[in-house]
Structure 1
Amino acid sequence: MFTVRSVVLDEVAVSRVLRRMAYEIAERAGPNVYLVGIQTGGAHLAARMAKILAHDADPHGKPRLGAVDITLYRDDLYLGQPKQELGRTDLPESVDGQTVVLVDDVLYTGRTVRAAMDVLLDYGRARAIHLAVMVDRGNRELPIQPDFVGVRVPTGPNESVRVMLQERGETDQVVLREKVG
């Protein structure tokens, strides 16, 4: 059980941060970037960034959009964890030779991103894979670093960060939560 300790980003700030990240991605990765969201929060964020870039599209290209489900690639799948609901990987175009930007809502240990890269590698050989996250919590357990960051929120062992999105029926915001009990 968690209690909200503070609001890190409100609705206006979430929109501003997503727009900035989308423009940074387009500038560094090119207009034809393949945005691939990690289900579910990352997929929603990738879709929003694709919409931003398509609206302000470079006439030479527009971003492509996909999503990956990491359920079967988790390194704790058989460690007695509660069974995860199987999601859907949707990569409408090949990743071969593409510049892919993996998108997630929160980066913490790096294990989710490692699993997402394994999914991508099973689908082909991307030219490059970059990482974009709305929130970087620090405290990595694997050598994974983001290329694009919305906000950095260092957290302690009893804290967590939640990205709340309208796609899930919530008001857009990022909150810092503290474990109770």
Structure 2
Amino acid sequence: MAGILIIAHAPLATALRECIAHIYGGCPARIGALDVLPDSDPAEVVAKANSEIERLREENGALVLTDMFGATPSNIAARLATVPEVRVLAGVNLPMLVRAVCYRATPLDTLVEKALAGASKGVQTIGPCTPPPAECGCAPTPCAEAVADAASQVASQAANPVASQAASESATSATRGTVGADCAQAGLLRPAGT
């Protein structure tokens, strides 16, 4: 199971790890956090990061998540990208981290793909015709893939080809975070009593 190290501006790394502990009812093993303070010595943080990677890395490697590309924490994290079986992703958000925790047992390249998908699919516009998320098996919360699957099911259940096309387009736009006015036509919003 891959270890995960979060390197971010203080207090984000610790806060994200605490969010995972909250979601899972305790922090899963092998998740570390390094908060980079404004007066941190980058050389000391790099040394600490290398030590944390050695502590956290498992048989399928380790994933390093950092906040903002080009900032000090990501520059520190980039130094770990040369370590064998370590991958580094910038732009960490909670959906990325939850997805990474869900898929830690997969090969490292698959874990990277799933974490990136979680990050991008987790950014959505929420509006009155956004379908509710469905369960996906990622304990304990649903992931964006489940939302896309639920939207696909709605599209496939449409009775006529015109409505089916509208439902498919609406489901696609909903999963991208932009919900069109055709939600009612697609069956995503139903008037009360129907």
| TM-score interval for Structure 1 and Structure 2 normalised by the shorter chain | 0.3 to 0.5
The structure carrying a bigger helix percent of its residues is 2
Higher relative contact order (CA 8 A, sep 6+): 1
Q: TM-score, normalised by structure 1?
A: 0.34
Q: TM-score, normalised by structure 2?
A: 0.33
